Structure 1
Amino acid sequence: MILVTGGARSGKSSHTERLAAEDCDHVLYIATSLVTDDEMASRVAQHQAQRPQHWRTWEGFRDLGEVIRHHLQPGEGVMLECITTMLANLLYEESAGAEPESLDFAALEVILLRQIDDLIAACQQSPAPIYIVTNELGMSITPQNRLARHFVDISGRVNQKLAQAADEVWLVVAGIGVKIKCR
């Protein structure tokens, strides 16, 4: 498992696509975004246009360990983009749109971590190279609102867990990838 992290618009996607293309002729691209408006549709279209056309795409954000276990074709690698979006979608789905002040973030984090633990287990069991993109949210100011603060905290703990399990970790800044862990 190779984890690629960095800030928004740092070049994580392009870097990860290059890594995957160097190692794999065929890739299952797991897209965790939901298209909710025209801007998001435009972002998704940009990502689709920049990756190889022969890569297969699976769209969803839940039970990604099962996707890795059951949807890979022989000789295929995996690129998962992105953990942060996956977490946001899961958090929204699990909280059912409730007001942030009423949410039990500890209980929600347990649910999210089950998904991450299963993903890590699937990655460790798979013979396929797996590239995971995530955002490094903790390098900025602490957000003012409760939901955003908890989301940054949960994302940070998830990233730490993924980095511990990963064989390689890359940090991408200004389009330049720096390997920060190699097993």
Structure 2
Amino acid sequence: MHELILGGAKSGKSRCAETRAAHWLALPGHGAVLVATAMAGDDEMRARIERHRADRAARVPGLATREEPRALAAVLREESLPGRMVVVDCLTLWLTGLLMPLDGAPVDDPAAEVDALVDALAAARGPVVLVSNEIGLGVTPMSRQARRFVDELGRLHQRVAAASTRVTLMVAGLELPLKGPR
């Protein structure tokens, strides 16, 4: 069973995914890995990433971490095993890395990367929980680049939601089920 967890900043979506992983890890013979997609472009982001590592280790000690900002489909194929949950945190930063990378050229059209991700999700041999920011509820951004990002993220969410058994919206730490078993 795959799940997409959406929400705004500090809505509780990462904590919700960690809770899913903790419950999974409590079952005999189960493992879990978190695939972190953030890249540290400045000191504040480096500190944020380090804080997330430490907090995650304290909250979910058995949750392994793999950091991969770009090759998400390949990592999902490698890490997905029977009995192992893969948590991806988050799709928003992954897409940012494709469209607005800190180093290298941006991807002109992320459709092939999204197709590869959806294919990897369909081929996953264990459960996958994907976290992403829902940013399409606000006003239309003023810049062309920001509008494109909102559009591409919305398309990504639609594709991943269609491929997921369950979709959850997080608001103020509360889970609002949108699709699938409750």
Q: Same fold (TM over 0.5)?
A: yes
RMSD across aligned positions (CA):
2.2
Shift in Å, 1:127? 2.0
Counterparts in 2 of 1:88 and 1:49: CA distance versus 1, 3 Å: same
Higher helix share: 1
Deviations along 1:20-55, whole A, 9 cap, x unmatched?
221234211101000111211222123212322332
Q: In 2, Cα distance between the equivalents of 1:43 and 1:67?
A: 23
Contact 2:37–2:94 (8 Å) recurs in 1: yes
What TM-score do the two structures reach when normalised by structure 1? 0.85
Show the counterpart of 1:102. Answer: none
What TM-score do the two structures reach when normalised by structure 2? 0.86
Shift in Å, 1:90? 0.8
Show the counterpart of 1:55. Answer: 63
Contact 1:62–1:115 (8 Å) recurs in 2: no
Deviations along 1:111-137, whole A, 9 cap, x unmatched?
x22112212211221221100001111
- 3-state SS of 2:100 partner: helix
Show the counterpart of 2:93. Answer: 85
Deviations along 1:126-180, whole A, 9 cap, x unmatched?
2211000011110111111111111011111111111111100000000111111
Bigger drift between 65-74 and 34-43 goes to: 65-74
Q: What amino acid maps onto 2:173 in structure 1? A: G
The counterpart of 1:153, out of the listed 151, 154, 157, is 151
Contact 1:5–1:134 (8 Å) recurs in 2: yes
Shift in Å, 1:63? 2.5
Give 5+ residue unaligned stretches, structure 2: none
Bigger drift between 54-63 and 12-21 goes to: 54-63
Contact 1:63–1:119 (8 Å) recurs in 2: no
Percent identity over the alignment is 36
- 3-state SS of 1:2 partner: strand
Show the counterpart of 1:3. Answer: 4
Shift in Å, 1:97? 6.1
Contact 2:81–2:124 (8 Å) recurs in 1: no
Bigger drift between 65-74 and 82-91 goes to: 65-74
Q: In 2, Cα distance between the equivalents of 1:19 and 1:80?
A: 12
Deviations along 1:59-88, whole A, 9 cap, x unmatched?
112222211222346532100010010000
Give 5+ residue unaligned stretches, structure 1: 99-106
Matches within 5 A, 1:20-169: 20-24=21-25, 25-51=30-56, 52-72=60-80, 75-93=83-101, 96=104, 108=108, 110=109, 112-169=110-167
Q: In 1, Cα distance between the equivalents of 2:48 and 2:132?
A: 16
- 3-state SS of 2:133 partner: coil
